[in-house]
Chains A and B, each alone.
Chain A
Amino acid sequence: KQEVTQIPAALSVPEGENLVLNCSFTDSAIYNLQWFRQDPGKGLTSLLLIQSSQREQTSGRLNASLDKSSGRSTLYIAASQPGDSATYLCAVFQGAQKLVFGQGTRLTINP
Chain B
Amino acid sequence: DAGVTQSPTHLIKTRGQQVTLRCSPKSGHDTVSWYQQALGQGPQFIFQYYEEEERQRGNFPDRFSGHQFPNYSSELNVNALLLGDSALYLCASSFPGRVADTQYFGPGTRLTVL
Contacts and interface: CB of A to CB of B under 8 A. Distances in A.
Partners in one complex: yes
Interface of A: 4, 31-32, 34, 36, 41-46, 49, 51-52, 89, 91, 93, 95-104
Given A49-B102, A97-B33, A97-B100, A43 B45 contact: no
B31 A43 contact: no
A100 B59 CA distance: 12
Nearest to A43: B107
Contacts, number: 69
Interface residues of B, number: 30
A17 B75 CA distance: 43
A34 B98 CA distance: 15
Given A42-B108, A98-B45, A99-B45, A49 B40 contact: no
Contacts of B33: 97-99
The secondary-structure label for the interface of chain A is: strand
B101 to A, nearest CB: 7
B79 interface: no
B50 to A, nearest CB: 8
